[in-house]
Chain A
Amino acid sequence: MSVVTLTINDKLVSAPRTATLLDAIQDQGIDVPTLCHLKGLSERGGCRLCVVEVEGSPRLAASCVTPVAEGMVIRTHTEKIIKYRRQMIELLLAERNHVCAVCVQNGNCELQTLAAKLGVTSVRYDYICPDLPMDASHERFVMDHNRCVLCGRCNRVCDEVEGAHTLDMAGRGIHSKVIAGMNQPWGTSRSCTSCGKCVQVCPTGALFKKGSTAAEMKKQHDFLLWILDGREKKIWRWS
């Protein structure tokens, strides 16, 4: 396998030519925050939390969608990046209605955890408080647009792993919204197999099992690698 050499935080490292910057960074045990990225799914490059500084480039690069290149010099935790990452979390919190105290995902939420970890003590922007609905038409699951961060993990797992492509993203920018079927109540979509993969990969309380109340949802992503390793590498971890 051909490799490239690059510099991450002043350290010379090598990585396979096909790797993304995020792969190379994580290989070094460096913790870069991610939200739309999930190992096993295609990359989306939407949340921008994984941004890094690339020497010689005026723009920050989302490491999950940037391929490694020979001689690249990158920095993962400069003051500027840390400041931007905080801002992104604040914008996410201001955009929809995040009321952790009464949320199904309280205590197990990736957004909540990232906010604390990245030192978001308060949101400096005006909360938009949009009037968004919940879709409880599915017999097993609920979609709560109030908690959605538009990471698109649900869309990708439904399409790429379950093969149903029930979920999609409608609208643009702040008006984006996860939809089921042809923008219809989820429960009436005939392509949904009720597999629950979307629920398990959702980082927030936007998708949850019907009947869960505050702080009751816990999500498990490990099924994803289990399925994919089996399918692609014929490695089945039965135990």
Chain B
Amino acid sequence: MATSTSSKPRLATVWLGGCAGCHMSLLDLDERIVDVLNLVDLVYSPIADIKHFPEGVDVTLVEGSVCNEENLHLARELRKKSKLVVAFGDCAVTGNVPMMRNRLKLEGIISAVYTEPFYREGPGPVPQPESGAIPALLPKVVPLHGVIPVDVFLPGCPPSPDRIWAAINAILSGGPIELPVEMRTFG
């Protein structure tokens, strides 16, 4: 993946609280992914091994809702460093499946996974927050626009490659980003 200093728009993609399905759908652009990579410089992404979110990003696609402190931190950072922020997929747009935990008591959520008898095969005692092994959960999961201003909403679980293609093209051509009705349903 090129991270050159050309004058192509700088694209970042970020993975917050989601299942990676939106990124899979992005890869499902198939040969069109080559066209996209010819048009942009991919400067940050879970599919590229880049450690820190860079400065001066033109467009950032954000998958996932905001579930924990780490998501929140990265969301704020990417907002500061990106011109255009796209809520990429339903989890970012509506909170979607991760938000289903909002009706539960926070206390039991992590221990349910680590120590409940039902999950006997689980990893064992819950790591303490001080250990830094897992980020602290936020009291409530929120969609991306619950914590930072969002410029474009690209719904779908996941958004189909055609939706992604349409949105990316609209964004890169600088035109108004209004998807046709059949491309803007949730779900």
**Chain A interface residues toward B at CB < 8 A:** 93, 97-103, 106-107, 112-113, 115-117, 119, 121-124, 126-127, 129-131, 215
Contact = CB atoms under 8 A, between A and B. Distances in A.
Contact of B186 (A97, A115, A130): A115
Given A116-B185, A122-B150, A122-B153, A129 B97 contact: no
B124 interface: no
Interface string B67-98: 00000000000000000000100100111110
A127 B102 contact: yes
Contacts of B142: 127
Nearest to A116: B185
Nearest to B143: A122
Q: How large is the interface on B (under 10, 10 to 19, 20 to 34, 35 or more residues)?
A: 20 to 34
B182 A130 contact: no
Nearest to B180: A116
A121 B150 CA distance: 11
Given A116-B182, A122-B143, A127 B187 contact: no
Nearest to B145: A122
B185 A100 contact: yes
Q: SS class of chain A's interface: helix, strand, loop or mixed?
A: loop
**For B87, B93, B99, B187, which residue has the most chain A Cβ atoms within 10 angstroms?**
B187
Interface string B85-121: 0010010011111011011000000000000000000
A128 B124 CA distance: 33
B90 to A, nearest CB: 6
A101 B187 contact: yes
Given A98-B186, A100-B186, A117-B181, 6 more contacts: A99-B97, A100-B187, A101-B97, A101-B186, A101-B187, A121-B153
A114 B103 CA distance: 26
Contacts of B140: 129
A113 B186 CA distance: 9
A107 B187 contact: yes
A98 B90 CA distance: 11
B59 to A, nearest CB: 17
Given A100-B157, A101-B90, A113 B97 contact: no
5 contacts: A100-B157, A100-B186, A112-B186, A119-B184, A122-B145
B155 interface: yes
Contacts of B97: 99, 101-102
A138 B150 CA distance: 43
A115 B185 contact: yes
Given A101-B90, A122-B93, A113 B153 contact: no
Contacts of B102: 127, 129
A99 B103 contact: no
B157 A101 contact: yes
Contacts of B157: 100-101
B181 A123 contact: no
Nearest to B184: A116
Nearest to B144: A122
Nearest to B155: A121
Contact of B90 (A100, A116, A119, A131): A100
A93 B94 CA distance: 9
B187 A106 contact: yes
Task: Pick the most buried of A98, A124, A215: most chain B CB atoms within 10 A of its CB.
Answer: A98
A121 B181 CA distance: 11
Contacts of A131: 103
A130 B103 CA distance: 6
A112 B94 contact: no
Contacts of B103: 97, 129-131
Interface in B134-187: 140, 142-143, 145-146, 150, 153, 155, 157, 181-182, 184-187
A176 B186 CA distance: 25
Given A115-B185, A121-B153, A121-B155, A99 B100 contact: yes
